[in-house]
Amino acid sequence: MRARPPPRIAAPGVFTTAILTFIHSWNEIIIAVSMTNDPRIQTATVANSKFTGATEFQPPFG
């Protein structure tokens, strides 16, 4: 049976992993948005980012 590491030891590694994952995801969507102009070949994340609210400058709520 493996012992679980205490939260104090695991916390820095978890936070670092979360930050690096966020940076990688952000860079990936920037590349996908800038390289795909045709709506037929857009990825799901690009299509979701292009949804707008009631006006062009309003975030989508509801």
Residue pLDDT, tens place only, 1-46: 788 777 788 889 999 999 999 888 877 888 888 888 888 888 887 8
- Report d(CA 53, CA 55) in Å as an integer: 5
What pLDDT is stored for residue 32 in this prediction?
84
pTM recorded for the entire structure: 0.49
Answer whether residue 62 shows pLDDT above 60. no
pLDDT at 18: 94
Q: How far apart are CA 25 and CA 62, in angstroms?
A: 25
DSSP alpha helices (H): ranges in the chain? 7-35, 44-49
Q: Which residues contact 37 (CB under 8 A, 6 or more apart)?
A: none
